[in-house]
Amino acid sequence: MRVACGKLSCFYTIRIYPVKVLKGNAQLGLTGNTLRKSLVIIQFTTSIILVVGSIAVYKQIVFISEKNLGFDKDNIIVVDQNEGIVKSYQAIKNDLHQLASFKNIAFGGNNIFTIPITTTDPVWASKPDNSSILFKVYRCDAEFISNDEY
């Protein structure tokens, strides 16, 4: 190990020219100017990547905001469920049906955009034996999708 360290320091000192060192002109590795240029290039490249990424995310947000999801989002009221609402759901539903401003009332298990329940169980006649298709399961009642609107 000592021999390797000695050889390394020997090779390092051989690269330094004594005349340049004495005059103060010796430069090893990256000079200040080269380092500065390298950092500017890295900073510029990083900023371009961040700008392009931000534009891509913005376009995706605009796309999903303008996408037709198959229902009118403006006329939907979502109420987080708790134990009291779940227990008296039928009574609440009956009371709301008596109001003229409510067209349809339905129960859904959780947020429709974050469905946590998945399965690969469904089977059909032409399903390949080795296929594993992931289905998302959304628990809801029969009135969740009204047939008269579609």
- Tokens coding 88: 């008296």
Quickly tell me which residue has 């029969």 as its tokens: 142
8-state DSSP, 141: -
What residues contact residue 110 under an 8 Å CB cut-off, 6+ apart?
Answer: 116, 138, 139
- Alpha helix locations (H) across 16-147? 18-23, 32-66, 83-87, 89-97
In contact, 20 and 26? CB cutoff 8 Å: yes
pLDDT at 29: 57
pTM of the model: 0.43
**For residue 66, what pLDDT is reported?**
86
Alpha helix stretches (DSSP H) within 80-135: 83-87, 89-97
Query: For residue 94, which amino acid is it?
Result: N
pLDDT in the model for residue 122:
82
Task: Provide the 3-class DSSP secondary structure of residue 48.
Answer: helix
Tens of each residue's pLDDT in the chain, 150 residues: 555 555 555 555 555 566 666 666 656 555 667 888 888 999 999 999 999 999 999 999 999 888 887 777 677 777 777 777 778 888 888 888 888 888 777 777 767 677 778 888 788 888 887 888 888 887 777 777 764 554
Contacts of 97 (CB under 8 A, 6+ apart): 105
Residue 149: per-residue pLDDT: 54
Q: What is the DSSP string of 14-31?
A: HHS-HHHHHHT----SS-
Residue 55 has a pLDDT of: 97
